[in-house]
Amino acid sequence: MQTPSRAGIAGTGMYVPPRVVTNEELAKLMDTSDEWIVQRTGIRTRHHVDPGTGPADLAKEASMRALEAAGLEARDLDAIVLASLSPHHEFPGTSAFLQALLGISEIPAMDVRCQCTGFLYALQVGRLFVESGQYPRVLVVGTEVHSTGIEFTTRGRDVTVIFGDGAGAVVLEPAEGERGVLSVHLHTQGEFARKLWVEAPGSVFQPRIDQALIDDGRHYPQMDGRFVFKHAVTRMPEVMREALDKNQLKLEEIDLFLFHQANLRINEYVAAQAGIPPEKVYNNIEVYGNCSAAAIPMCLDECVRQGRVPEGALVLMCGFGSGFTWGASVVRW
């Protein structure tokens, strides 16, 4: 029996909306400061959409760039897997809107809802689609519009200063030789679902959203920041170790580490504890903030375009987020 081909990343792309929002601008709207934000999170700017632009629109731009990099057109795709925690509308999934924006039809398009680990979950689905032979070319996208769902007042400042809008995409196709996605490792701990969540609208409410829920701010993200921080710095090293062990790799053999961009301090702490040299870690949170499911593919695209991922390079991606969810993947370029 023929061994199935691994899925390889044939092209990457990213997109952020043009409007840049500085820490100083946020400090005019809420009780915060550039100094506090930079010191605690490492973030200096983030990009926000203008009214009328949604996550499917950002995903389209990132996808077109990834397709171009892969030398493909949208009609060459066999499936779309899209990760987002900020859906274009309640239903159908954002992937359906993206498919239409790409001007294609009938191929399967599905959403993955795994928050800041969403891209890694979507990558696993896409990779298994490719390896099964049923869908040889899969578009995997992470996209978020956070700015329309956060509170620009002091009540929401912990979350609002962190989040940004953006999209990142990869095109998967069967890889040759040793190249490709070596493994993906995924975890969820639902007992902490309410430690970082948006409660409403929710199907447990009748109606799903009303004025009382809005007045209480229950349609905005609520986060126990310290609790999230503590679990992120524990779970990320754990799942990195799992990925390395699975592939019988030593930490030193990894050429590039791409972590989810939630807080620069989380990534610095994880890298320092593991003994990873800073030059092997790429962060872009300083300019984009936390773009959740889009963060890892945005980092990957910037690294690829900067020539930081030569042929044969080993890339380890790792993320943690709401759910709690966490995961890691090793890719040989």
Binding site for ligand COA (CB under 6 A): 32, 36-37, 40-41, 116, 157-158, 161, 196, 223, 225-226, 228-229, 232, 262-263, 266, 290, 321-322
Smallest distance, Å, CB 236 to ligand COA? 11
Smallest distance, Å, CB 264 to ligand COA? 9
**C-beta of 42 vs 136, nearer to ligand COA:** 42
**C-beta of 33 vs 132, nearer to ligand COA:** 33
**C-beta of 80 vs 196, nearer to ligand COA:** 196
- Annotated catalytic residue within 267, 283, 284, 290: 290
Q: Is 260 one of the catalytic residues?
A: yes
- Annotated catalytic residue within 88, 260, 263, 267: 260
| Cβ(58)–Cβ(145) below 8 Å | yes
**CA of 146: how far to CAs of 90, 227, 247, 277, 299, in Å?**
15, 21, 35, 32, 18
**C-beta of 99 vs 290, nearer to ligand COA:** 290
Whole-angstrom distance, CA of residue 308 vs CA of residue 327:
23
Whole-angstrom distance, CA of residue 14 vs CA of residue 18:
13
Residue nearest to ligand COA (CB): 225
Smallest distance, Å, CB 161 to ligand COA? 4
**C-beta of 226 vs 250, nearer to ligand COA:** 226
- Annotated catalytic residue within 23, 47, 88, 116: 116
Smallest distance, Å, CB 140 to ligand COA? 19
**C-beta of 195 vs 280, nearer to ligand COA:** 195
| Cβ(199)–Cβ(322) below 8 Å | no
Dihedral (C-alpha) 126, 128, 132, 137: value to the nearest 10 degrees?
20
Smallest distance, Å, CB 214 to ligand COA? 22
Smallest distance, Å, CB 324 to ligand COA? 9
Q: Is 231 one of the catalytic residues?
A: no
**What are phi and psi for residue 195, nearest 5 degrees?**
-80, -15
**Active-site amino acid positions:** 116, 260, 290
